Amino acid sequence: MNDYTVHLKGSPDDPAALERSVFVREGFSMAALVLGPLWLLWARLWLALVAWLVLEAGLFAWAILASPAPFAVAGLVMLMHGALAFEAAPLHRASLDRRGYQMVSLVHGRCQLDAERAFFTRRAAISHPLPPEPSAAVGRPRQTRMVGLFPSAGT
């Protein structure tokens, strides 16, 4: 099961805000590990992308000027990708906070579709609670407690 944080811009009671809800998967991001700066572009994390490009330029300049062993440069690149994969969700949440979104819920699901289904089902249950059960005084005799498989004496 994966955990997803739900972010809304506006009131949780506003249907338009619910339409624009954003689900952020918590945990390690394989897409960020493999794609790196392309994932930053896709997630619209501009400040993180600029920081990534500055680090890449510094690493490139160091590799040219200092002529380190190739495995050292490759290790640092892998370290950068690993750090991005572990910090992908917090970066995405911080970006949403800066854009005015607020976290309203935490849901669980195997995939994002299951998490969305769980969130919107819970929202529907909150906004439209079930009606109370009809009372027994509407023309039906009152049921007495049963013990075992047989009704108690006197019924």
pLDDT one-digit tens code per residue, 115-139: 999 999 988 877 666 566 655 455 5
Query: Rounded distance, CA 64 to CA 70, Å?
Result: 11
Please give the pLDDT value at position 24.
94
Strands 2-8 and 102-109: antiparallel
**In the 3-class helix/strand/coil scheme, how is the chain assigned residue by residue?**
CEEEEEEECCCCCCHHHHHCCEEEECCCCHHHHHHCHHHHHHCCCHHHHHHHHHHHHHHHHHHHHHCCCHHHHHHHHHHHHHHHHHHHHHHHHHHHHHCCCEEEEEEEECCHHHHHHHHHHHHHHHHCCCCCCCCCCCCCCCCCCEECCEECCCC
- CA torsion 93→95→100→103, rounded to 10°? 0
List Cα–Cα distances, 25 to 41, 78, 112, 143, 151, in angstroms.
Answer: 17, 22, 8, 50, 53
pLDDT at 133: 63
pLDDT value, residue 124: 80
The gap from C-alpha 83 to its chain's centroid, in whole angstroms, comes to 19
Q: What is the pLDDT of residue 108?
A: 93
Whole-angstrom Cα distance, residue 95 to residue 68? 35
Amino acid residing at 88: A
Per-residue pLDDT of the chain (155 residues; tens, 9 = 90+): 899 999 999 888 888 888 899 999 999 999 999 999 999 999 999 999 999 999 999 999 999 998 888 899 999 999 999 999 999 999 999 999 999 999 999 999 999 999 999 999 988 877 666 566 655 455 555 555 555 565 555 55
End-to-end CA distance of the chain: 50
